[in-house]
Structure 1
Amino acid sequence: MFAPSAERPWRDVWPVVARAGDGNAWVTGACWLYCRREDVAVLWIGSVATPGAVGDVYACGPCIAELDHMVRVQSHHRDRIVDRPGRAH
């Protein structure tokens, strides 16, 4: 049995990762993340600024899921509880 979401850390109750056909504004285009595929369903996930240019970043469902996984792992690692030096929970 799961604890009510109010009793769990925010990172454990994030909404489900976006997936094609979920009602979001998916378009056909190129994935700017890991797979770099062309002509696939992609979703705008934000903007990126480089020295001299700003662009819209689009990603496919599997790459959004991978990015979500990486963020959750980083969050869990960063927020882990340490009760004694060198021992993490």
Structure 2
Amino acid sequence: MSRPWRDAWPLAARADDRNHWVTGTCWLYCRRRDVRVLWIGSVTTPGATGDVYGCGPCVAELAHMARVQAHERDRIPDHPEGSTSARWAKER
């Protein structure tokens, strides 16, 4: 099945865009401090909640990972093991 929209994703957020960037700590991959970060969501763990912030490069990496997962899911439509998350859960 052709899905031309799949490759037309918007660009990931960047520190010079019009989003509300603040100075803080990146909660994602680099964990740098005192960098421009963007709130990307909340996290809930047993007994605690928090706001997750990511710097530009880490937000771009997260967006890339989401695109890869979407492409993998689309390769095998309606197949129970077609999704990355299903394969990951099976491997655990």
How does 1:34-45 map onto structure 2 within 5 Å?
34-45=29-40
Q: What do residues 49-87 of structure 1 show as CA deviations (whole Å, max 9, x unaligned)?
A: 0001110000000000000000100110011147xxxxx
In 1, Cα distance between equivalents of 2:74 and 2:49: 32
How many residues matched? 75
C-alpha RMSD of matched pairs (Å): 1.4
Gaps of 5+ in 1: 1-6, 83-89
Question: Which of 7, 11, 21 lines up with 1:16 in the alignment?
Answer: 11
Q: Tell me the SS of whatever aligns to 1:79.
A: helix
Aligned to 1:56: 51
Q: Which has the higher helix share?
A: 2
Q: Tell me the SS of whatever aligns to 2:29.
A: coil
Q: Tell me the SS of whatever aligns to 1:75.
A: helix
In 1, Cα distance between equivalents of 2:8 and 2:22: 27
Normalising to structure 1: TM-score of the pair?
0.78
Query: After TM superposition, where is structure 1 displaced by more than 6 Å over at least 4 residues in a row?
Result: none
In 2, Cα distance between equivalents of 1:55 and 1:14: 28
Normalising to structure 2: TM-score of the pair?
0.76
Answering whether residue 17 of structure 2 is matched by residue 25 of structure 1, we say no
Question: 1:13, CA displacement in angstroms?
Answer: 2.2
